[in-house]
């Protein structure tokens, strides 16, 4: 593609996170909570400003009633009643009086007044001891976000479920929980100001097959609603007002890619075996039972990572044991006889249920997350473990625990599992007594004591997303440090190598389920380091297979040896990419 855009065309560069090309009109989401300017209004505008507040309240009330109706239809009256509390907040006379007074007496513009007053009320409630009242603080913030969106004329994340026509979304950022509910037919692609390759939003986009580019800087401030854009999820660009020539070039590229996709599809039933006869198991990462059919369709041999926490997002109540059992059972049955590895809850970090949004930790990725939450909340953990055990009677289910940092945590988690086994035995409820229990290696400390863990864990699954982030002290969500996020850093690779060596000594198998496993350029490296399984998003599975079937283990091993002794992450990436491109050039064709 041309480097210098022709006049009229503007190109923005970001980080490509989900392949594919999309074009269409853009909807720019706002920053309701931020950037609200306070200005003084002339006396003659006070009446109009007060009327604007009323209109925004009426519109918000209408939205809430509509959401309530939809929830009532989908989940029942009980679930929908939570919106009664939201309606009460919206109509709170004390809050409204104060907003009106501020507009009238201090002559402050409506949005600034509403934001200041609602934040004051929310902060006051948020500081109280009482759980119920603290939750009302979250309600106030939710409602005030909606009112402010109306006052500012913004669409918000919440509106993405009711888009009038197919479009491309540009947003400051998208929560993974929002991305999970995007309608593929209506959202052709999305770009965000912030974000990194291994953020859960990026992972979700790949899963949904929605082209996406993150880390686009301040694109939401530069592109206007309704402009026509072309978003390239391979190259990582957003082109505003593309010329006919650009559209033509992309059209051709799309055709070539479609032809290659067909070739990949033909590999579905073929195993991933290197040219010198070494088999690597290719599994798929999913986060919802509805994704199970895509596992088979992709040619994956089972599920290597079921991110169970997504069952807990986007809802007020936590899922019951029965609901979870049904979900895990569906996954297990649909991939049988292949295994389904269910990862226990990895809440925290960028994944928080709506009810916990107020936790507001300073360093959520170093905080109350994953196994730490589960060990602190025995009932929550017990419910999930029982559900997984019950599902194990219907297929080959394995469990793995996330964010384990050492043997004590693993033993505590296992003890909780053992208590659940005993309960089920007493209740005569069937489960698989031979169910394998593994550990995710994603905390550097766990890799360093992998020899200890390997004595008691049946398998390891290396989470390279977090392992890279924690080893290099790089926030996987922060685009400013995205260039430092390097899974090919020799420090990360040495931890992977230690993990594999420890597993070998104890006759355990090792998989990789981080995003690295689905990146063709890095697959030779992982194969050379000696992994037994690669688990990637279903959309990446065919490319990974294609590559492995053209690779020789001997070449991959030579690459791994070089990498472990290398000085620099970039040298390793380039060497691995060069080998991948040499054996499977089709995967890297960009023009």
Tell me the catalytic residues: 200, 513
> In this chain, which stretch among 90-98, 192-200, 460-468, 540-548 interacts with Mg ion, using CB under 5 A?
460-468
Q: Which residue has the tokens 């070449």?
A: 555
What is the footprint of ligand PEP within residues 454-493 (CB under 6 A)? 463-466
What is the footprint of ligand PEP within residues 268-327 (CB under 6 A)? 305, 307
Looking at the Cβ atoms of 193 and 442, the one nearer to ligand PEP is 442
* 442 near Mg ion (CB under 5 A): yes
Looking at the Cβ atoms of 171 and 513, the one nearer to Mg ion is 513
CA triple 525-530-536, angle to 5 deg: 65
- Would you say the C-alpha torsion 321, 327, 331, 332 has a positive or negative sign? positive
Q: How far is the CB of 478 from Mg ion (least distance, A)?
A: 16
Looking at the Cβ atoms of 176 and 463, the one nearer to Mg ion is 463
Looking at the Cβ atoms of 144 and 292, the one nearer to ligand PEP is 292
Start-to-end Cα distance in the chain: 8
Q: Which does 409 bind (CB under 5 to 8 A by kind): ligand PEP, Mg ion, none?
A: none
CB 529 within 8 A of CB 565: no
Site string for Mg ion, 33-72 (x = CB under 5 A): ----------------------------------------
Find the binder of ligand PEP among 513, 525, 531, 569 (CB under 6 A): 513
Helix, strand or coil for residue 263? Answer: helix
Looking at the Cβ atoms of 307 and 330, the one nearer to ligand PEP is 307
Q: How far is the CB of 285 from Mg ion (least distance, A)?
A: 11
Region label for 277, one of left (φ > 0), alpha (ψ between -120 and 50) or beta (otherwise)? left
* 519 near ligand PEP (CB under 6 A): no
Find the binder of Mg ion among 463, 487, 524, 528 (CB under 5 A): 463
Return the half-sphere exposure (C-beta side, CA atoms, 13 A cut-off) of residue 265.
8
Q: How far is the CB of 476 from Mg ion (least distance, A)?
A: 9
- The residues, any chain, with a CB within 8 Å of residue 500's CB and separated by 6 or more, are 510, 529, 530, 531
Q: Which does 242 bind (CB under 5 to 8 A by kind): Mg ion, ligand PEP, none?
A: none
Q: Which does 513 bind (CB under 5 to 8 A by kind): Mg ion, ligand PEP, none?
A: ligand PEP
* 383 near ligand PEP (CB under 6 A): no
Q: Which does 238 bind (CB under 5 to 8 A by kind): ligand PEP, Mg ion, none?
A: none
Beta strands 237-240; 167-171: pairing state? unpaired
What is the footprint of ligand PEP within residues 322-351 (CB under 6 A)? 346
**Total residues contacting ligand PEP (rule CB under 6 A)?**
10
The DSSP result for 29-95, as a single string, is B--TTS-PPP-B--GGGHHHHHHHHHHHHHHHHHHHHHHHHHHHHHH-HHHHTHHHHHHHHHT-HHH
CA distance 47 to 55: 12
Beta strands 237-240; 228-232: pairing state? antiparallel
Q: How many CB atoms lie within 10 A of CB 45?
A: 15
Q: How far is the CB of 438 from ligand PEP (least distance, A)?
A: 13
Q: What is the CA radius of gyration of the chain?
A: 25
Q: How far is the CB of 356 from Mg ion (least distance, A)?
A: 18
CB 361 within 8 A of CB 368: yes
Tell me the β-bridge partners of 473: none
The values of phi and psi at residue 14, to 5°, are -145, -155
What is the footprint of Mg ion within residues 466-495 (CB under 5 A)? 466
Q: Which does 176 bind (CB under 5 to 8 A by kind): ligand PEP, Mg ion, none?
A: none
Q: Which residues bind ligand PEP (CB under 6 A)?
A: 305, 307, 346, 442, 463-466, 513-514
């Amino acid at each position: 593609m041309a480097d210098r855009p022709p006049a009229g065309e503007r190109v923005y560069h970001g980080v490509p996170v989900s392949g594919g090309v999309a074009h269409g009109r853009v909807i720019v989401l706002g920053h309701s909570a931020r950037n609200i300017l306070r200005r003084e209004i002339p006396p003659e505008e006070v009446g109009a400003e007060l009327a604007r507040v009323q209109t925004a309240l009426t519109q918000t009330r209408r939205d809430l009633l509509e959401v309530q109706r939809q929830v009532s239809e989908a989940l029942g009256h009980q679930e929908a009643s939570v919106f009664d509390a939201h309606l009460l907040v919206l109509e709170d006379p004390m809050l409204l009086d104060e907003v009106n007074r501020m507009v009238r007496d201090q002559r402050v513009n409506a949005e600034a007044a509403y934001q200041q007053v609602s934040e004051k009320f929310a902060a006051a409630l948020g500081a109280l001891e009482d759980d119920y009242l603290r939750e009302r603080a979250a309600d106030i913030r939710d409602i005030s976000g909606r009112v402010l969106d109306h006052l500012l004329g913004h669409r918000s994340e919440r509106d993405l479920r009711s888009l009038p026509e197919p479009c491309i979304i540009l947003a400051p950022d998208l929560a993974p929980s929002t991305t999970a509910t995007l309608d593929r037919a209506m959202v052709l692609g999305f770009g965000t100001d912030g974000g990194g390759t291994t953020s859960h939003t990026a992972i979700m986009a790949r899963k949904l097959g929605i082209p996406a580019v993150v880390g686009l800087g301040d694109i939401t401030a530069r592109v206007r609603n309704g402009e026509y854009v072309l978003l390239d999820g391979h190259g990582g660009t957003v082109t505003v007002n593309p010329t006919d020539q650009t559209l033509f070039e992309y059209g051709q590229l799309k055709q070539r890619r479609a032809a290659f996709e067909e070739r990949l599809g033909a590999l579905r039933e073929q195993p991933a075996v290197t040219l010198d006869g070494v088999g690597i198991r290719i599994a798929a990462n999913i986060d919802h039972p509805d994704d199970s059919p895509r596992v088979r369709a992709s040619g994956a041999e089972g599920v290597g990572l079921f991110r169970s926490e997504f069952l807990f997002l986007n809802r007020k109540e936590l899922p019951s044991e029965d609901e979870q059992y049904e979900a895990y059972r569906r996954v297990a049955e649909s991939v049988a006889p292949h295994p389904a590895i269910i990862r226990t809850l990895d809440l925290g970090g960028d994944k928080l249920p709506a009810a916990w949004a107020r936790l507001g930790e300073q360093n959520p990725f170093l905080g109350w997350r994953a196994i730490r939450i589960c060990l602190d909340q025995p009932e929550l953990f017990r419910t999930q473990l029982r559900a997984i055990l019950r599902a194990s009677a219907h297929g080959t289910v394995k469990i793995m625990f996330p964010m384990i940092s050492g043997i004590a945590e693993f033993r505590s988690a296992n003890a909780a599992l053992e208590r659940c086994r005993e309960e089920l035995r007493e209740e005569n409820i069937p489960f698989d007594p031979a169910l394998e229990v593994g550990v995710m290696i994603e905390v550097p400390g766990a890799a360093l004591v992998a020899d200890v863990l390997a004595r008691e864990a049946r398998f390891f699954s290396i989470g390279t997303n977090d392992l890279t982030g924690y080893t290099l002290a790089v926030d996987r969500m922060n685009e400013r440090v995205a260039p430092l996020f390097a899974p090919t850093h020799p420090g990360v690779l040495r931890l992977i190598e230690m993990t594999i060596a420890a597993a070998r000594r104890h006759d355990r198998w090792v998989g990789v389920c981080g995003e690295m496993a689905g990146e063709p350029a890095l697959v030779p490296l992982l194969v050379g380091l000696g992994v037994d399984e690669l688990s990637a998003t279903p959309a990446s599975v065919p490319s990974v297979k294609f590559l492995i079937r053209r690779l020789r283990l001997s070449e991959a091993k030579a690459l791994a040896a070089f990498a472990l002794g290398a000085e620099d992450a970039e040298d390793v990436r380039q060497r691995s990419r060069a080998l991948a491109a040499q054996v499977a050039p089709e995967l890297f064709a960009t023009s």
